Amino acid sequence: MLLKDLISLPVYANAVIVAGREGISNTVQSITIMDAPDIIHYLKPQELLLTTGYAMKDHPDALLSLVTNMANVGCAGLAIKTKRFFREVPPEVIKRADELQFPVIELSLEQSLGDISSHSLSHILEKRTDELNYALTTHKQFSQMIMQGKSTQDIIEELSLLISSPVMLIDSEAKLLCSSGGAASQQYRSLLPSLQERIGSSLEPGGQLPQTPFTIAASVFHPIMTYQLEGYVVASIDRSHAHYNLSKHAMEQAANVIGLELMKRQAVKERSRRYKNEFFSDFVDGLISSEQELTHRIKYYRLMNHPYYVSIVVKRDTSYDTADASSTLESDGRFISERDRHYNVLKNEFSKLDQRFVLFTKNDYFCILIALQRSIDVKSGKVSKFLEQMRQVVDSLHLLHGIPISMGVGNPVSQLADIPLSYKEAVEALQTGYDARKRQFVQPYRAKNFNNLLRMIPKEELKEYYEDTFKDLLHIEGKERSDLLKTLSTFYETHCQLAETAKQLFVHRNTVTYRLEKCERLTGRDLRDPVESLRFRTAFSMESIVHSD
């Protein structure tokens, strides 16, 4: 209850506020009597201290220190019996209490401290009982509204009537969801700059507001919680009003009921999402064998009858060691709520593209299947409009939401049955980007050429194959070895045409013939045999890899 209401009780008759009158609206949660010298170590916030000042009668400066420390702790006030050990409250104490807006009350001699404490605590308990009954009643009232099918807007309207103040509902990023009327909307506009400033300086992930109640310009913000912060019930409540605590209780119960309703909706949504994730995960893994089931589910998501489809795989950038990064996030209590936030933000960003899409999760990937009206070019080196849109999504998530992500983009396919191929290309493209130590990238799929495939073989094995193929030629020293290898390489590059080989080497045709015959004699291989030809061509392709540092 408020201090000003407490000292209006008959037991405080003839009590006088001698200092700190501005703090008379402080909340009182408990009463304590103490005259110990180290009293400050035992006091708690919102506690009213009753004392005779006996422990400080010979040390007037101790009372000044006590008032200062009590104000710092957040105590409700100090009530002292004067004309016993203190004739009056010292002027310097009154001055300090006024500066700190900390109430100091002179008690009359007629009532004992025990009587004052007993009557005060009894009244506080009665008030708390009334507040508890009020909280239970309002919770029941709001719960019945939900059971009757009423909306969140209806609860906000009802709360506004109960506390006689405009009420609004905002989300965790300070966006207005609904309000009780024009006055609440006007209040939101006045609070928005302060909210945006607080979000900008927030330590919460993604720049969110805190998960505990707070006040801005006499407006109380009560959080709505599920397994994460969903938003706030906001209302202007006069702290000095007699029904301040009742209004706060009503806000708390409204927030609780709205939170329970959101949890119910989220459970339904999560079940549907899990069903979708399982289907598409099986689909891209090639486990859907029933064409009828595939057609039915794809039709449900309105993906039928589109000329082209493209798969995109998205992953949050955490570390180049992706396994360690995932375990770190999972060990953090925010993993589930963060992943859900990323899902919703991605969904909102792709909704802006004006393309039909389905978003689902698979392992630690976010997967997007987009239905297109025309084909797109996702070849590396050519920035198409589609890839530029993906680049904008990556930038938006990082700049606006603080989420660093990367994308792998598969090639477009024209058949539903080929979607798994596009998905596998997207996964491979994403991994290619990570292998190149990139971050916040959009990586289109690139089909591997022969050299890419060779690089997947251990270098030691490549070297062994290369040296075994050219072992008899590599034993020759100097210019002769260089001429023989160059002639053989050019011979295969010109598709075994002697005249063209001579022309490119600027030598006579007979010279080419002589060199090729020497190669056959040294290696013991028929250079025109298809199998031997393939071996030599492969060995020449390995040359740059084998000789690289």
Using 50, 70 and 90 to split pLDDT, how confident is the model at 497? very high
Task: Report which secondary-structure segment, H or E, holds 17.
Answer: strand 16-19
What's the whole-number mean pLDDT along residues 129-139?
Answer: 90
Give percent of the chain with pLDDT exceeding 70.
91
**Residue that is written with structure tokens 């005249």 in the block:** 499
Q: What is the pLDDT of residues 60-108, one digit of tens each?
A: 788 889 999 999 999 999 999 887 777 788 899 999 999 999 999 998 8
Asked whether 249 and 154 are in contact (CB, 8 A), the reply is: no
**Global confidence as pTM:** 0.55
Residue 336 has pLDDT above 90, yes or no: no
- The reported pLDDT for the residue numbered 332 is 45
Give 2's DSSP letter.
B
Q: Which of 166, 174, 168, 136 is nearest to 152 (CA)?
A: 168
Asked whether 75 and 45 are in contact (CB, 8 A), the reply is: yes
Q: What is the pLDDT of residues 264-291, one digit of tens each?
A: 888 888 888 888 888 888 888 888 767 7
Using 50, 70 and 90 to split pLDDT, how confident is the model at 207? low
What's the whole-number mean pLDDT along residues 137-156?
Answer: 92
Q: What is the pLDDT of residues 221-273, one digit of tens each?
A: 999 988 778 899 999 887 766 677 888 899 999 999 999 998 888 888 888 88
Using 50, 70 and 90 to split pLDDT, how confident is the model at 48? very high
Q: Long-range contacts for 111-118 (Cβ within 8 Å, ≥24 apart)?
A: 111/11, 111/12, 111/13, 113/33, 113/50, 113/51, 113/52, 113/81, 114/33, 115/11, 116/11, 116/12, 116/31, 116/50, 116/79, 117/31, 117/32, 117/33, 117/50
What's the whole-number mean pLDDT along residues 284-313?
Answer: 81
- The reported pLDDT for the residue numbered 323 is 39
Q: At 72, which amino acid appears?
A: N
- The reported pLDDT for the residue numbered 390 is 92
Residue 427 has pLDDT above 90, yes or no: yes
| Tokens of residue 542, six digits | 């390995």
- The reported pLDDT for the residue numbered 375 is 63
Residue 448 has pLDDT above 70, yes or no: no
Mean pLDDT of the chain: 85
Lowest-confidence region among 50-59, 91-100, 314-323, 450-459: 314-323
Residue 500 has pLDDT above 50, yes or no: yes
Lowest-confidence region among 210-219, 237-246, 458-467: 237-246
Using 50, 70 and 90 to split pLDDT, how confident is the model at 369? very high
Give the CB-side neighbour count of residue 476, counting CA atoms within 13 A. Answer: 14
Distance of alpha carbon 299 from alpha carbon 319, whole angstroms: 38
- The reported pLDDT for the residue numbered 519 is 92
Distance of alpha carbon 393 from alpha carbon 370, whole angstroms: 14
What's the whole-number mean pLDDT along residues 46-69?
Answer: 86
- The reported pLDDT for the residue numbered 49 is 92
